[in-house]
Amino acid sequence: MISIKVGQGSCGISAGAAKVYTALEQQLKSNHDVQLSVTGCIGMCYLEPIVDIYSDGELIRLVRVKDTDAKAVADYISTGDNSFIENLIVSDEDKHFLDSQTRIALRGCGIINPNEIDDYIANGGYTALKKALIEMSPEGVIEEIKVAGLAGRGGAGFPTWFKWNAARSSQGEEKYLICNADEGDPGAFMDRAVIESNPHNLIEGMLIGAYAIGAKEAIVYVRAEYPLAIIRLERAIEQAKEKGIVGENIFGSDFSCSFRIKAGAGAFVCGEETALIESLEGSRGMPRLKPPFPAQSGYWHKPSNINNVETFANVSWIIENGGEEFAKLGTDDSKGTKVFAITGKIKRGGLVEIPMGKKLSDVIFDIGGGMKTGRDYKCVQLGGPSGGCIPADMQDTVIDYKKLSATGAIMGSGGMVVMDGSTCMVGMARFFLDFTAKESCGKCTHCRIGTKRLLEILNRICKGEGKEGDIELLEETCNEIKAGALCGLGQTAPNPVLTTIKYYRDEYEAHIKEKRCPAGECIDLVKYSINPEKCIGCSLCSKKCPVGAICGEIKKTFTIDSEKCIRCGQCMDACRFGAVEKR
How confident is the model at residue 281, as a pLDDT? 96
Burial pattern 429-455, b for ≥16 Cβ within 10 A else e, equals bbbbbbbbbebbbebbebbeebbebbb
CATH for 2-99? 3.40.30.10
The segment(s) of the chain belonging to CATH 1.20.1440.230 are 425-513
Q: Cα–Cα distance between 61 and 482 in angstroms, integer?
A: 48
Q: What percent of the chain has pLDDT over 70?
A: 100
Mean pLDDT of 492-516: 96
Q: Cα–Cα distance between 163 and 182 in angstroms, integer?
A: 19
How confident is the model at residue 92, as a pLDDT? 94
C-alpha closest to that of 457 among 445, 447, 469, 466: 466
Q: What is the pLDDT of residues 189-204, one digit of tens each?
A: 999 999 999 999 999 9
pLDDT confidence bin for 269, thresholds 50/70/90: very high
Helix (H) or strand (E) holding 340: strand 337-344
Q: What is the pLDDT of residues 483-500, one digit of tens each?
A: 999 998 999 999 999 999
- 215, with CB counted inside 10 A (0-12, 13-18, 19+), is buried
User: How many other CB atoms sit within 10 Å of the CB of residue 516?
Assistant: 17
User: 357 pLDDT exceeds 90?
Assistant: yes
Query: What single string gives the DSSP state of each residue in 392-406?
Result: GGGTT-B-SHHHHHH
What CATH class has 527-582?
alpha beta
Q: Cα–Cα distance between 458 and 452 in angstroms, integer?
A: 10
What CATH class has 337-420?
alpha beta
Q: Cα–Cα distance between 80 and 61 in angstroms, integer?
A: 15
β-bridge partners, 61? 52
Q: What is the DSSP letter of 527?
A: -
User: 506 pLDDT exceeds 80?
Assistant: yes
Q: Cα–Cα distance between 348 and 566 in angstroms, integer?
A: 34
C-alpha closest to that of 76 among 28, 41, 43, 111: 28
* Contact by Cβ (8 Å): 337, 330: yes
Q: What is the pLDDT of residues 422-479, one digit of tens each?
A: 999 999 999 999 999 999 999 999 999 999 999 999 999 999 999 999 999 999 999 9
Q: What is the pLDDT of residues 132-169, one digit of tens each?
A: 999 999 999 999 999 999 999 987 789 999 999 999 99
Phi, psi of 5 (to 5 degrees): -120, 130
The segment(s) of the chain belonging to CATH 3.40.50.11540 are 117-327
User: 10 pLDDT exceeds 90?
Assistant: yes
* Contact by Cβ (8 Å): 411, 155: yes
CA angle 519, 521, 522 (to 5 degrees): 115
pLDDT confidence bin for 572, thresholds 50/70/90: very high
How confident is the model at residue 497, as a pLDDT? 97
How confident is the model at residue 32, as a pLDDT? 82
Helix (H) or strand (E) holding 338: strand 337-344
Helix (H) or strand (E) holding 451: helix 445-462
User: 395 pLDDT exceeds 90?
Assistant: yes
* Contact by Cβ (8 Å): 372, 364: no
C-alpha closest to that of 178 among 245, 235, 261: 261
Q: What percent of the chain has pLDDT over 90?
A: 90
Q: What is the pLDDT of residues 80-111, one digit of tens each?
A: 899 999 999 999 999 999 999 999 999 999 99
Q: Cα–Cα distance between 434 and 439 in angstroms, integer?
A: 9
How confident is the model at residue 28, as a pLDDT? 93
| Strand extents, DSSP E, 26-95 | 34-39, 51-55, 58-62
* Contact by Cβ (8 Å): 145, 318: yes
CATH superfamily membership of 117-327: NADH-ubiquinone oxidoreductase 51kDa subunit (3.40.50.11540)
Fold of 425-513: de novo design (two linked rop proteins) (1.20.1440)
How confident is the model at residue 447, as a pLDDT? 95
The mean pLDDT of the chain is: 95
β-bridge partners, 304? 176
- 3 state DSSP class of 538: coil
Q: Cα–Cα distance between 53 and 36 in angstroms, integer?
A: 9
Mean pLDDT of 207-234: 97
How confident is the model at residue 187, as a pLDDT? 82
How confident is the model at residue 571, as a pLDDT? 95
